[in-house]
Amino acid sequence: MTSKKLNCWEYKKCGREPGGILTDSLGVCPAATDSSFDGINSGKCGGRICWAVAGTFCHGRPQGTYAEKRATCMDCDFYKLVCAREGKVNMRTRFLRFVPGGGDGPLLDKVTLRHIKKGERFLVQGEAGDEAYIIQRGTCLVIVEKEGQLHPVDHRCEGDIVDMMALFTGELRSAHVEAETDMAVWVINRDSLGDMLKKDPELIDILTEIVADRFDSKRPTAYRTIGKYIATGIIGRGGYGIVYKGVHQALNMPVVIKMMRHDLVLRSDFLENFHNEARLIAKMNHENIIRVYDIEERFRTVFIIMEYLDGEPLDVMVKRLGFLPAERAANLLMQVCSALSYAHDKGIIHRDINPSNIIVLQNDRLKLIDFGVACPAGTEDFLIGGAVPYIAPELFDGEPADRRSDIYALGITAYEIVTGKRPYPEEDYAELMKLKRDLDIPDPLKTVPDLPEPLRRFILTACSLDPDKRYPDAGRALEELKPLIDRRKSVSSPPGAGEQKTAALFLKYEDEPHPDLDRLLEEFGAKLKEIGIELSKVDLKKDS
């Protein structure tokens, strides 16, 4: 993990940051208040590229414009620190080994060396381009021109790639780029990229990281646009893609954006299958399935635009609570069964059922997510999808995914949420695969002695080694769990029950976060819910 990126006022200890000790007498430094372009630099990037911000305060005196202070700033110890950190620890320096002088790079016939003089503007905003530049030596500044004003927005060092998007889209350049120092760069032409990928597939992984870097929340908005959407921050990373929170520009509606990794998308079998099923996935409309709004294909990969969910992943909930009571678990499992039944009837197999792909919303409503690796029923010759602990054993032997492999994964999920652990040791994945092929799942009753028989039977049947002995479809699995929900209803609404009553329980505690209290209240609420009592929490403020 890279170290924290310092701003200039943190490094220089000048006291002119917002709230600093010298702001009353000298004012706030422009590098600390820079809100140029679209506000992305405010208090963040401005302090990383202070040498490009006019009017800063260094060496005990105010500084002039970028051009006037360039010579002094290029010799500044903070400038050198930024260049060293961004150049040497940046993963993109790996690109240097693919070109001459950077290692054993084999691509001499695909790249050309270019020298750029200090102060030269070598990329112009608004022009089209089909070349990208790998910096072998030197640094440059990215400057956006807006309404006649120049706004510094980014900085590039050794190993960085400048204007990589030209290789993907040929879109008009969104900024000027000027050399801060003398530079040596390797020039890659768009037509050469395909040959490069064939010669060295490792480049594909780096492409994913470069495109992902474009959508970093510190980048200018123009960099982070994907069709009608803007990426606003990263949510997480997985084996299949990188997930961002985003917003629909016109509607100001929050969305989730999943960028598929290039190593998948550049496989013709994956992309063909994905496109065959994309329309069906986007048309799915079920209360327990995340909505897919749109699919964008840009930068040589695929972006899946989905609804934004304000909830908690089931794996996080189980880790927090330890396990879930049987009736609560059954309620959640029935909702997943309903979602799978709907998807399976449309010919879609999820392939990656596990607790992290189940989001629990308010009132224990849930949404099944991550249909991005879904495939048609019976798809063969396709990479194994899903996390190994949940994969059905027949898939290890090359059998195609179908309804029953999704049901197996749901059975493992059910075992985990009622016992608080997964059924097989996982220290060695090769051994785990062997155990899953050879041994029946342990009886959950040994861990949870009071586990209701319908839920025990659901887990054991869903996880049968022989696919033919599992539930043939999610609808049949759902029927197995219904008695638990019916029993819950009968407990919550006994014959002759009168009007509902309300009782109050008051807790007094200090006005500060209490995670243990929140956990206990949630457990208490779940227990009450099993016997038909609803717990509501209302914060009462003291009278002033």
Confidence check: pLDDT of 147 > 90? no
* Residue 377 Ramachandran class (φ > 0 left, ψ -120 to 50 alpha, else beta): beta
| Whether 352 is catalytic | yes
CATH architecture for residues 227-307: 2-Layer Sandwich (3.30)
Predicted local confidence at residue 91, as pLDDT: 43
Rounded mean pLDDT, 282-289: 88
Query: What was the pLDDT predicted at 4?
Result: 61
90-104, 217-231, 510-524: least confident range: 90-104
Q: Check pLDDT > 80 for residue 76.
A: yes
Find out whether 349 and 386 touch, Cβ atoms under 8 Å.
no
- CATH class for the domain made up of 90-212: mainly beta
Return the pLDDT at 495: 43
DSSP string covering 438-486, please? HSPPPPGGGT-TT--HHHHHHHHHHT-SSGGGS-SSHHHHHHHHHHHHH
Stretch 126-143: mean pLDDT:
87
- 196-216 pLDDT per residue, tens: 666 666 666 666 776 776 676
Express each pLDDT in 474-515 by its tens digit.
999 999 998 887 655 544 444 444 445 566 676 776 666 566
Phi, psi (5° rounding) for residue 142?
-95, 125
Structural domain boundaries in the chain: 8-84, 90-212, 227-307, 312-492
* pTM metric for this prediction: 0.63
Q: Check residue 494 and report its DSSP letter.
A: -
CATH number of 312-492: 1.10.510.10
Tokens read off for 472: 């043939």
- Please list, in sequence order, all residues whose beta carbon lies within 8 angstroms of the beta carbon of residue 43, skipping any fewer than 6 positions away: 7, 18, 32, 33, 34
**Residue tagged active-site, from 34, 163, 352, 402:** 352
